[in-house]
Amino acid sequence: MLDLSIEPISSLLRARRAGYTLPAGLYTRPDAYEADVEVIFHRHWIAAGVEADVPEPGDVYALDIGRSSIVILRDDDGIVRAFHNVCSHRGAKLLDPGPGTVGRLVCPYHQWVYELSGELMDAPHMGADFDKGLGHLRPVNLRSIGGLLYVCLSDTPPEDIEDLAAVMEPRLAAYDLANAKVAFETDLVEHGNWKLTMENNRECYHCTANHPELCVSFVHYDFGYDPEGLTPDEAEEAKAHAERYATQSADWEAQGFPSSAVERGPGHATNFRTQRLIIAGPGESQTPDGRAASSKLLGGMTRKDTGDVHLWGNNSWNHVMADHAVIFACYPLAAGRTLVRTKWLVHKDAVEGQDYDLETLTAIWKATNDQDAALVARAQAGAESIGYRPGPYSTFTEGTLDDFTTWYVERMTANGY
Ligand code: FES
Ligand SMILES: [Fe+2]
């Protein structure tokens, strides 16, 4: 007889073996998607955008996160704020997702009017005795870390966001991303679970075979290798590469560019990893020829050879180079569908067609994102199959994935699953 009983999410989480991918249901089941939204996306710090999304007072940016929605805005005093995108009257969603510019926030339903501070200004036909103070929009916890915006929808956000800020603010300061401009933005819906999206971007085991464009600027040995599997020539190359890293990192550090690897994995609510990576070839930027795409460098940068400050987090990954930054975040839409939002940032005064060519700026990651989307869809298709069994991560190239799935299981179980 068919066994139609459904294993609880908690059993799937406990069934996960260290060193292996997750049980299929955690990638495929709608209830696992709901649980992820509730725990990871509603109770943890989530990358939500950049200050450059709202460069001027009155600029708004609405973002759906799971079943919730927030609005990020810059108020009349230039302060970036975040609120739940929910009217205090009968709960209508105030703004549709995406950017806009407003004088005040006006609910389309019954025209309640809010200041950009969130204060309720006008509530027609509610009577003289109505206390408008009760109608203030509900704030959302927001942190700008070097111009990158993180939100937490919980009223008790994890405190270790301070650790991310302490590590990243000095690393990002010279780039002044808070005053950059978004030169280009794409939305891509990957046909895979958000955790497969995250796992895919945390390893470069797949890069050589799948990312010819990206590999021009990536250094092959950066992403781990089995030392026993190298030919003598490759072993020499790997050794030279390690020595080059040590020298280059010491040089950068001496010039005031923090470069060492910092990692917060399992055991932390806010997971992240950062390191200043060497860019291959001319060493300037992730472009088709490895040279800077924008002649106007970010912030106060005066040299182009400062590598790639990579940073990944709970739902995001970033590459910050002297001339531009590429900021990625993912948001789950369903068990098998994930929105990947990518933003290319340049100096706010850089002029398209003059200081940079948009195609050169975006070519690498547009191609890479499409390739990654196909890989994630392929991984999801396998996870949906009855033939799927959790598979082993490579200890040499996929240890960071083991960390990610371990972190995920820990966070879920720590939050009641
Ligand atoms: S629900 Fe917004 S004004 Fe009524
Ligand atoms: Fe990739």
Q: How far apart are CA 11 and CA 310, in angstroms?
A: 35
pLDDT of residue 1: 60
Q: What is 175-414's CATH number, 3.40.50.2020, 3.90.380.10, 3.30.1600.10, 3.40.50.300?
A: 3.90.380.10
pLDDT of residue 355: 98
Which residue has 């805005």 as its token pair? 73
Q: Which protein residues touch ligand 1 with a CB less than 6 Å away?
A: 87, 89-90, 92, 107, 109-110, 112
Q: Which atom of ligand 1 is nearest to the CA of 111?
A: 3
Contacts of 131-139 with CB under 8 Å at 24 or more apart are 134/88, 135/88, 135/89, 136/88, 137/83, 137/84, 137/86, 137/88, 137/105, 138/83, 138/84, 138/86, 138/88, 139/81, 139/82, 139/83, 139/84
Q: How does strand 68-74 pair with strand 105-106?
A: unpaired
Architecture of domain 46-144: 3-layer Sandwich (2.102)
The residue whose CA has the least distance to atom 4 of ligand 1 is 110
Q: Is the pLDDT of residue 292 over 70?
A: yes
Query: What are the residue boundaries of the structural domains of the chain, listed by start?
Result: 46-144, 175-414
The residue whose CA has the least distance to atom 1 of ligand 1 is 90
- Specify whether the CB–CB gap between 377 and 191 falls below 8 A: yes
Span from the CA of 297 to the centroid of ligand 1 (angstroms): 45
Output Rg (C-alpha) for the chain, integer angstroms.
23
Q: What is the pLDDT of residues 94-106, one digit of tens each?
A: 999 999 999 999 9
Mean pLDDT, rounded, for 2-31: 93
Task: Check residue 78 and give left, alpha or beta (phi > 0: left; psi -120 to 50: alpha).
Answer: left
Confidence class of residue 224 from pLDDT cuts 50, 70 and 90?
confident
Mean pLDDT, rounded, for 308-332: 98
pLDDT of residue 276: 97
| Helix pair angle (399-414, 194-201), 10° resolution | 150
Which residue has 């971007």 as its token pair? 201
Q: What is the pLDDT of residues 104-151, one digit of tens each?
A: 999 999 999 999 999 999 999 999 999 999 999 999 999 999 999 999
Q: How far apart are CA 226 and CA 23, in angstroms?
A: 26
Q: What is the pLDDT of residues 258-270, one digit of tens each?
A: 999 999 999 999 9
- Specify whether the CB–CB gap between 31 and 9 falls below 8 A: yes
Q: Which atom of ligand 1 is nearest to the CA of 88?
A: 2
Mean pLDDT, rounded, for 179-193: 98
Q: Is the pLDDT of residue 273 over 70?
A: yes
Q: Which atom of ligand 1 is nearest to the CA of 110?
A: 3
Span from the CA of 132 to the centroid of ligand 1 (angstroms): 13
For the chain, the average pLDDT equals 96
Indicate the pTM of the whole model: 0.96
Q: Which atom of ligand 1 is nearest to the CA of 87?
A: 2
Q: Which ligand is nearest to the CA of 212?
A: 2
Span from the CA of 93 to the centroid of ligand 1 (angstroms): 9
Q: Which ligand is nearest to the CA of 126?
A: 1
Mean pLDDT, rounded, for 345-356: 98
Share of the chain above pLDDT 90, in %: 93
Cα dihedral value 209, 212, 214, 215, nearest 10 = 70
Q: Is the pLDDT of residue 222 over 90?
A: no
- Specify whether the CB–CB gap between 201 and 190 falls below 8 A: no
Q: How far apart are CA 275 and CA 254, in angstroms?
A: 15
Edge-to-edge strand list for the sheet holding 98-101: 80-84, 68-74, 59-65, 98-101
Q: Is the pLDDT of residue 3 over 80?
A: no
pLDDT of residue 4: 64
**Ligand 2 (ion): which residues have CB within 5 A?**
372
- Tell which residue, 144, 146, 159, has the closest CA to residue 48: 144
3-state helix, strand, coil in the chain (%, to 5): 35, 25, 40
Neighbours of 278 (CB within 10 A): 21
Residue 173's contacts (CB-CB under 8 Å, 6 or more residues apart) are 146, 299
Q: Is the pLDDT of residue 2 over 90?
A: no
Neighbours of 5 (CB within 10 A): 6
Q: Is the pLDDT of residue 86 over 80?
A: yes
Tokens of 66: 């799971």
Tokens of 186: 């794409």
Q: Show the beta-strand stretches assigned E in 269-401.
A: 272-277, 308-312, 316-320, 325-334, 337-347
pLDDT of residue 221: 84
